[in-house]
Amino acid sequence: GAGVSQSPSNKVTEKGKDVELRCDPISGHTALYWYRQRLGQGLEFLIYFQGNSAPDKSGLPSDRFSAERTGESVSTLTIQRTQQEDSAVYLCASSLEVISYNEQFFGPGTRLTVL
């Protein structure tokens, strides 16, 4: 596909369950970001993958959150033992990251609702 894709588009889960969110970046993009956006709020950085470097996990809010990326392709964000405060839209973005030209392109997001 031409753009960043995410799945599922919507996820409703019960408190305490684990969820996995998937992101397919634009082909060839070396960098991949995950963000969380609560209703009416700004983007909250979660994690950043850049090529083969160790990911920047500084934004993960707790050890219930983890993410993996296989090479320069698909990434999965996992939330264990979900809580109601995890309800938000989770956005993925990718960029080419040529020096100084790291424009990000966003996927449509996954809307997570924890009941």
Partner 1 sequence: QKEVEQNSGPLSVPEGAIASLNCTYSDRVSQSFFWYRQYSGKSPELIMSIYSNGDKEDGRFTAQLNKASQYVSLLIRDSQPSDSATYLCAVSGNRDDKIIFGKGTRLHILP
Site residues, partner 1 (CB under 8 A):
33, 41-43, 45, 48, 50, 53, 56, 91, 93, 95, 97-109
Q: Kindly tell me which of 52 and 70 has the beta carbon lying closer to partner 1.
A: 52
C-alpha 69 chain-centroid distance? 10
Residue 3 or 16 having the CB closest to partner 1: 3
Is the Cβ–Cβ distance between 19 and 12 less than 8 Å? no
Report the residue number, 20 or 56, with the smaller CB distance to partner 1: 56
23/85 Cα distance (integer angstroms)? 22
Least distance (Å) between residue 17 CB and partner 1: 25
Min CB(70)–partner 1 separation in Å: 20
CB 19, CB 111: distance < 8 Å: no
- Smallest gap from Cβ 12 to partner 1, in A, equals 17
Which DSSP category does 101 fall into? B
